[in-house]
Amino acid sequence: SQQGEEDPQALSIQEGENATMNCSYKTSINNLQWYRQNSGRGLVHLILIRSNEREKHSGRLRVTLDTSKKSSSLLITASRAADTASYFCATVPRSGSARQLTFGSGTQLTVLP
């Protein structure tokens, strides 16, 4: 079953603009991770945020986590054409017998030059 769901499914912006992607999940989590996937390639880990953290930064990336709303957002500032990719959130549940990553269906980001 899908735990995380990204919104929007697709996003198209101009180079230099900011891109915001959202992720909602259903059950309490241990941590939430964001990954990027270029077309036809494997996933690349971007940021991991723990359930007791509210915000993390890495370069032009900013991730927020609101556990009361069961949601997270990924902000990419000053976007570049090279940021064009699919972005996935993945969650690890707080409890259960098989506590593995569950991925959402992703947001396809297109950055136009």
Distance from C-alpha of 113 to C-alpha of 109, rounded to nearest angstrom? 13
71 near another protein (CB under 8 A): no
Q: Which two tokens stand for residue 55?
A: 């915000």
Site for another protein in 12-41 (CB under 8 A): 30-31, 33, 40-41
Residue 89 and residue 104: Cα distance in Å, rounded? 6
Asked whether position 42 contacts another protein by CB under 8 A, the answer is yes
Q: How far is the CB of 3 from another protein (least distance, A)?
A: 10
What is the C-alpha to C-alpha distance for residues 98 and 111, in angstroms, rounded to an integer?
Answer: 37
Does the protein bind another protein through residue 54 (CB under 8 A)? no
Regarding 61 and contact with another protein (CB under 8 A), the answer is no
Residue 88 CB-density burial (10 A; 0-12 exposed, 13-18 middle, 19+ buried)? buried
Any contact of residue 57 with another protein (CB under 8 A)? Answer: no
Binding site for another protein (CB under 8 A): 1-2, 4, 30-31, 33, 40-45, 48, 50, 88, 90, 92, 98-106
